[in-house]
Structure 1
């Protein structure tokens, strides 16, 4: 009797325990986290190729829109279009020194006037010289940059989870140190992979050819005008650009005449220029200016770090297009990207001039610029420090709207890809 009672008591006890265990397990979520502290579902992140696709599309659009300013900027950075013909002494005396705000305004006039001059002397298609190589270069450049930056940021955040952040509650991916390191990696990879393309593009943009004689053009002699020295030099150089055209351009023109119409405008000249560089300078010639490009990595670093900061200020890192008005969203992205690019460009602009000089073709078989420090010293000695900012206005006209357009399209495409995932 006692054994039966004990057995019944044991069975009841086990049933109660099982019921209690079942009740506990049914009330708890699938994870071990209590319901009150369970984290909300995380937004799905894009994989590397999706970042690349969005960045490439944005970069390509920006390059097309701002191509004329890119041509003008390259020519103003080069001494081939600034010192070919010296103005008369009377003209030089009539032109007063312009510095500060006045100098900036005259750079604006110089930019607009040179755009018009190129259109008159060479045809408006000349404002899109080098666009073919630019588009060929933009796609891999932006693909590489937008691939390595987010993936490097995620990788470094995993490797250094305790990276310093600005506010409590932020993750390692919000750390400025992680942003800086990821931007350095992305910049180095981009510069190394795309330098040959930019060398070809620069050479094409520095090749000036006047329109055929049958087409009328409004010529303004530099020697009889009272224009600022920079404008007078640019006009005079363009007016005599036929004699300065290289045999490379003639070769590429002949090749383009025989090429199909679809590829004649861009592919053939770029291919001819590439082969000419390899034949005359070897493979090394395609990597001229690489040291200056590495120096320019600092611009990309500053741009990415500031973009992340400005986005956070504008509260666009946690807000999507569906959560705010289109105008507010576009304004926040454009402001963050354009502002970041403007600051980064102003700080690091001299490297652009040095890089352009290093990529110039040889004159009468002589390479004038052959090193980073040598170029810096020579430019400062012959032309002064102000020449390190030649073409700055045209550059800003190009890169700020380019960056705004590129990042806006990137964010929109990335948002759509995230929603579709």
Structure 2
């Protein structure tokens, strides 16, 4: 036997992570960043509608005519799906006029600080996880159970690592001069305030709801993988449009099924009112919202949420897939 045949196996072949595993991290972060910037105004509206702190301010829709006629206040009984989308548009207008255009991007700083690592971790964990799970437990073949398992692991890892960033972002978006008499000056001021009020534990408010929200990521990834196969390999515009549609549709369906956890998470993360902690736990928050406001409030901000997450998912996944394919050519 020649000496050459006795050489050790290259380290790459024994590594747990697949080759070029880093590309999922980079592609996911870039995709998440672009999607967050494009849809930031809808994120602000969604957060305010999920919270009870802004309900009085945004509970009615002023429909003043361009000629300056008296405003018409739409009755709440007309709050159907179409009304909710109209309401979202009017809230965007009100924030732009009454506060400032800059307020439409309130919390974008911590959002980006949160989105880039969150998407990087999620896509890295899922993209590599499904390959590892398939190779170790399913003879190298991917199927729905492989996708489901990888998505669950990715969701838990992402939620745990980035929860403090989302707490800061939520507090910034809910900040109002009408609440405290002075506005928070930025992310660092918010961080100091959270530390003063709750300590380190304050940065993990809503984590239980985030874990509950892992189901959304699982549904989204499994649906996306299934839908993507319908146009995969077709090439050209058809495959690209199919990928965009798959990403948007998967996110839309997952959001509709699991949306109440978003409202609960926002309530858990919102600031104290007159020094009083109103929402203290997952079950307590759920029961209190239903008791005081009705089950309908568990879908507060849904229209703004869908207007944000569907195009966000389309942008994010298309950039992610594009970078992966470009990197593998």
CA distance in 2, matches of 1:126, 1:336: 32
CA distance in 1, matches of 2:74, 2:26: 53
Query: Within 5 A, what are the aligned runs for 1:108-187?
Result: 108-161=85-138, 172-173=141-142, 175-187=143-155
Per the alignment, residue 36 of structure 1 pairs with none
CA distance in 2, matches of 1:122, 1:84: 12
Query: Within 5 A, what are the aligned runs for 1:255-334?
Result: 269-314=186-231, 316=232, 319=233, 324-325=235-236, 327-334=237-244
Per the alignment, residue 318 of structure 2 pairs with 408
Local SS of the residue matching 2:272 = coil
Shift of 1:94: 7.8
Local SS of the residue matching 1:172 = coil
Give every structure 1 segment of 4 or more consecutive aligned residues whose post-TM-superposition deviation is greater than 3 Å: 83-87
Asked if structure 2 preserves the Cα contact closer than 8 Å seen for 1:46 and 1:417, the reply is no
CA distance in 2, matches of 1:379, 1:198: 21
Pair 1:98-2:98 in alignment: no
Shift of 1:84: 6.4
CA distance in 2, matches of 1:362, 1:404: 36
Local SS of the residue matching 2:277 = coil
TM-score (norm 2): 0.87
* 1:297-349 superposed Cα distances (whole Å, 9 cap, x missing partner): 000000000000001122x2xx3xxx722x22320110110010000000000
Per the alignment, residue 256 of structure 2 pairs with 346
Per the alignment, residue 188 of structure 1 pairs with 156
Distance 1:276 1:172, change over 3 A: same
Per the alignment, residue 19 of structure 1 pairs with none
CA distance in 2, matches of 1:410, 1:46: 17
> Cα RMSD (Å) of the superposition?
2.0
CA distance in 2, matches of 1:85, 1:149: 38
Shift of 1:83: 3.8
CA distance in 2, matches of 1:129, 1:414: 31
CA distance in 2, matches of 1:156, 1:329: 27
* 1:344-400 superposed Cα distances (whole Å, 9 cap, x missing partner): 000000000000000010011101001000000000001101100000000000000
TM-score (norm 1): 0.69
CA distance in 1, matches of 2:74, 2:92: 24
Query: Which has the larger Rg?
Result: 1
Distance 1:62 1:85, change over 3 A: closer
Local SS of the residue matching 2:53 = helix
Task: In structure 1, list runs of 5 or more residues that go unmatched.
Answer: 1-44, 163-170, 209-241, 253-268
Distance 1:108 1:74, change over 3 A: same
Aligned residues: 302
